[in-house]
Amino acid sequence: MNKSVVIIEATSFNKLIDFDEIWNYRSLLFQFAKRDVSLRYKQAAMGIAWAILQPLLPAIIFAIVFGKFMKVPSDGQPYLLFVFTGMVMWNFFSQVLLRAGNSLTANANLITKVYFPRIVIPLASTGAVLFDLLVSFVLLVALMFFYNIYPTWRLLFLPLVILLAFISAAGLSFWFSALNVKYRDFMYALPFIVQVWLYATPVVYSSTLVPQQWHILFSLNPAVGLVESARWAILGESGLTAMAFTASITMGILFFVSGLWYFQRMERSFADVI
């Protein structure tokens, strides 16, 4: 009787990610993502409505405070629609950091008992947040029709924006999840980092309000290009500049590559220190 033999080896530093291995474990990745979605909404009285309320309620508050009282410019768009579009992308980005960033410690029992590529865990958490993003888009479309604003040909670029958001957020989650295993302080620091990060991102304001001399530094935030690109693709107008887009996307790719490198470097010690 023939028996298959699986040889577990340390991944070479010359290879950042083993796509063949992840493909072989694709069903596990899907099950992890499905479990994360189920656990999030299981026995929740409002069900998937939370996926809509998370970006909607802050958007309404921001629309009242910044739009009505402070009269913050919104690139010629209705302020609620302007800020909700930003909140949808920001909510995806921030939720990936929070949920995927804590994913390894949340699955400590599995990591110490069963072998599978550890990178599947933060990837599954990132994929699970995509479900919330798709649900939020339903309300975004409804708001667009309410304000008589209709998509243009630019909407064709939205899948690319979502892909770039996935890459940027996943790369940062590799960093945070690996650091969280070694330094548990990150579990408590991460919500604070995300809260501050929100105001460094043009969610409640347009990038056009940022002084020119600060544009380069401002654009190093990968979330800047993602939020403004989403507005450009969905609403047809935004404060997006070529420099901001290029800088933000470059930083997002750098975070992804460096995050993979650091995750791989730390992976072999996860089971010992988690």
Tell me the pLDDT tens digit for each residue of 174-221: 998 888 888 877 778 888 889 999 999 999 998 888 888 888 889 899
d(CA 238, CA 231): 6
Which residue is listed with tokens 């969905």?
234
> Do the beta carbons of residue 146 and residue 102 sit within 8 Å?
no
d(CA 46, CA 17): 38
Tell me the pLDDT tens digit for each residue of 257-268: 999 999 988 887
Q: Which two tokens stand for residue 202?
A: 């043009």
Which residue is listed with tokens 């990610």?
17
- Place 13 in a pLDDT band, splitting at 50, 70 and 90: very low
> Do the beta carbons of residue 249 and residue 165 sit within 8 Å?
no
Average pLDDT of the chain to the nearest whole number: 84
Could you tell me which of 144, 30, 135 has the C-alpha nearest to residue 92? 135
Domain parsing of the chain, residue ranges: 35-265
2 pLDDT higher than 70: no
> Do the beta carbons of residue 219 and residue 225 sit within 8 Å?
yes
Judged by average pLDDT, the poorest of 71-80, 97-106, 144-153, 202-211 is 97-106
Q: Which two tokens stand for residue 11?
A: 């991944």
Name the burial class of residue 75, with classes exposed (0-12), middle (13-18) and buried (19+) by CB atoms within 10 angstroms of its CB: buried
Q: So what's the pLDDT on residue 33?
A: 87
Residues 6+ apart with CB under 8 A from 198: 90, 94
pTM of the model: 0.86
Judged by average pLDDT, the poorest of 55-69, 102-116, 141-155 is 102-116
Q: So what's the pLDDT on residue 156?
A: 92
Q: Which two tokens stand for residue 212?
A: 């020119």
Q: Give the mean model confidence (pLDDT) for residues 4-24.
A: 62
Tell me the pLDDT tens digit for each residue of 95-131: 988 888 888 888 888 888 888 888 998 988 888 888 8
